[in-house]
Structures are given as C-alpha cells and as structure tokens.
C-alpha cells in the first residue's frame, strides 16, 4: 500500500445504525453498513480506499468503521449512520491522512469522532507497543 493511502474499513454486517433501531434488517444488502459503503465509494477522494469488512466487534454500537495507514495509529469509530455521517467520515479521513502517525488533535476531529471513538491501536512499527 502506498504511504499516502488511507484505508477506511466499513463493517457491512452491522444490523443497526444506532441503538434506537436494533436489528433493523436481516438482509445483508440492505443493512446500514452496506449503504454506508456505497455512499462513501460514490464520493471518496483519491487515496482513500473504502473496504467492506465483516464484523469489527462493535456490534451494539454500529455502524462501525476503522481508519488505518502505514506507520500510523488505527482508529475505530461507531454509532455511525449512512444518512448523517458520510461528510464527518470523509472529513475525519482527510485529517487522519494529513496527520503525522494519524494523530489528529482531539479538538480538530469531527464532533462525532470525538464522542464515538471505540478504540485506537498503535502502529505495527511502534516500539514497546
């Protein structure tokens, strides 16, 4: 993967786009994550790879995404909906791409990212990680 490529993993198996709508649909093609992938692929900038994945183990707080790139921290975010958060995700991905080691200052992150960070994982290359 080129050093300037960011991968955005999107869980397509989440059944709920929010805690208020549990088990919204059993049909894999109409689940919220599938809609989120399509919405992001339609407008993703060059250098942002949208990758559909199965469960990211954040099922009760879906939709769930993860951002990763070489030499950087990986971030997992939840409670996303395809209707409300596509622009937040793209803004967050752009700032992540431009940040050294993926470390975007907290105040500069989209509000949804500030309130819904599920996990952050150190880079493979991190010493003592």
Residues that bind ligand FES (CB under 6 A): 11, 13-14, 55-59, 62, 64
Nearer to ligand FES, 33 or 92 (CB): 33
* Residue 41, helix vs strand vs coil: helix
For 127, residues 6+ apart whose C-beta sits below 8 A from its C-beta are none
Q: What is the DSSP letter of 65?
A: E
Q: Which helix (H) or strand (E) holds 117?
A: strand 117-121
Supply 6's token pair.
């960011």
Write down the least CB distance from residue 64 to ligand FES, Å: 4
Nearer to ligand FES, 13 or 25 (CB): 13
Supply 2's token pair.
């080129």
Nearer to ligand FES, 53 or 99 (CB): 53
Write down the least CB distance from residue 125 to ligand FES, Å: 26
**Are 54 and 9 within 8 A, CB to CB?**
no
Q: What's the distance, CA 20 to chain centroid?
A: 20
Nearer to ligand FES, 36 or 48 (CB): 36
Write down the least CB distance from residue 76 to ligand FES, Å: 9
Write down the least CB distance from residue 23 to ligand FES, Å: 11
């Amino acid at each position: 993967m080129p050093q300037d490529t960011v991968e955005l993993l999107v869980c397509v198996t989440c059944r709920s786009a929010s805690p208020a709508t549990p088990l919204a649909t059993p049909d894999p093609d109409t689940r919220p994550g599938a809609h989120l992938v399509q919405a992001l692929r339609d407008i993703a900038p060059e250098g942002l790879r949208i990758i559909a994945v199965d469960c990211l183990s954040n099922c009760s707080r879906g939709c769930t995404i993860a951002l990763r790139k070489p030499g950087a921290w990986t971030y997992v975010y939840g409670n996303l909906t395809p209707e409300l958060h596509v622009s937040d995700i793209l803004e967050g991905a752009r700032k992540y791409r431009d940040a050294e080691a993926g470390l975007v200052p907290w105040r500069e992150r989209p509000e949804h990212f500030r309130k819904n960070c599920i996990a952050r994982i150190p880079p493979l290359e991190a010493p003592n990680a």
